[in-house]
Amino acid sequence: MPMEAPWNGNTTAAGCQQAYPSAWGGYAGPVTVPDAGLPAPLAVPDPGRLDPARPDHQAILAAHGRALAAGEDGYLDPATGWWSFTAAYLWDRGTCCDSGCRHCPYVNQATRLAGS
């Protein structure tokens, strides 16, 4: 999902909404990225890993957003009950493990950072 504005570093609700007006509706509240090293566009899952047409797309984004805001390593998938790591946790890991993680920040990284 393309971002309308670059991450502004402001982790308040207003700052997140300003930085990500289109993504804001997908999360239950402000999305903060505890590790400042994770570029914010990479906190939003690549569409190849989380299809926006899924009926539970918004519920998954909300669960991920709550986990990010709480600084947790992951969350329980609302549809399957399986554990999913957050993008921040995977970023801290330092490399892609090629396991198909839903929130992998390394998938299509250049495109996602460019906002296209």
Q: Is residue 5 part of a domain?
A: no
Q: Is residue 1 part of a domain?
A: no
Q: Is residue 110 part of a domain?
A: yes
Q: What average pLDDT does range 77-89 have in this prediction?
A: 93
Rounded Cα–Cα distance for residues 33 and 52 (Å): 21
Cβ-contact 48, 106 below 8 angstroms: no
Q: According to the model, what pLDDT value does residue 38 have?
A: 86
Residue with tokens 């890993």: 49
Q: Is residue 65 part of a domain?
A: yes
Q: Is residue 36 part of a domain?
A: yes
Q: Is residue 26 part of a domain?
A: yes
CA–CA distance from 65 to each of 20, 74, 100 (Å)?
13, 10, 19
Tokens representing residue 55 in the block: 């009926």
Q: According to the model, what pLDDT value does residue 7 have?
A: 41
Number of domains comprising the chain: 1
Q: Is residue 6 part of a domain?
A: no
Q: Is residue 7 part of a domain?
A: no
Q: Write down the pTM of the prediction.
A: 0.67
Residue 68 has pLDDT above 80, yes or no: yes
Q: How many residues does the chain have?
A: 116
Rounded Cα–Cα distance for residues 89 and 98 (Å): 15
- Mean pLDDT across the chain: 77
Its domain, for residue 26, covers 13-114
Q: Helix %, strand %, coil % for the chain, to 5? A: 35, 5, 60
* pLDDT tens digits, one per residue of 48-66: 999 999 999 999 999 999 9
